[in-house]
Amino acid sequence: MSLARKKFTEFKERGGRIPDAELDDFWATLEPATIEGMLGEWKGGEFVTGHKMNGQLEKAGWFGKTFKSATAVQPLVCVDADGNKFSNVAMGKGEASLWLEDFRGEVTATMVYDGQPVHDHFKKIDDDAVLGIMNGKGVLDDGRYYYFYLERV
């Protein structure tokens, strides 16, 4: 098991709040994600940091994201009361696409929502997990980012 995977597992299993600085330090150790590496179906989760978004995706029944291609991304795959997955285009104000963007001095795969000013930057933990930082107008909480992760289905 890689050091990155060990640290990721530690964060996931930790009870309580994780300081932004710890996640930022972890982010800095990871290699940028590629568009090709993001393709596929992913199950998502969040890190509890005290950000205003904490708990919001869970309330919506968020399952994860599906990257069919660089131009066909379902950012908010949710599960309905019957257990069926669907792309929640109403909540996401459309779907999304993948781009390479500069974030914190590195070019990394970034999911850009079609209908709102939100960019999800990704860095690779390993072939089956990425760390995400949600960035953009309306998402920043007093300048703080929302931290989440995706694991390949």
- Please report, for the domain that includes residue 78, its CATH number: 2.40.128.580
Q: Which of 113, 145, 111 is nearest to 38 (CA)?
A: 111
Q: Tens digit of pLDDT for each residue in 41-59?
A: 999 999 999 999 999 999 9
Instruction: Note the pLDDT of residue 1.
Output: 84
Instruction: Note the pLDDT of residue 15.
Output: 85
Per-residue 3-state assignment (H helix, E strand, C coil) for the chain: CCHHHHHHHHHHHCCCCCCHHHHHHHHHHCEECCHHHHCEEEEEEECCCCCCCCCHHHHCCEEEEEEEECCEEEEEEEECCCCCEEECHHHHCCCEEEEEEEECCEEEEEEEECCCCEEEEEEEEECCEEEEEEEECCCCECCECEEEEEEEC
Which residue positions in the chain have pLDDT lower than 50? none
Which amino acid is present at 99?
W
- Domains held by the chain: number: 1
Instruction: Note the pLDDT of residue 138.
Output: 86
Task: Give the pairing type, strands 106-113 and 96-103.
Answer: antiparallel
**Domain around 56:** 3-152
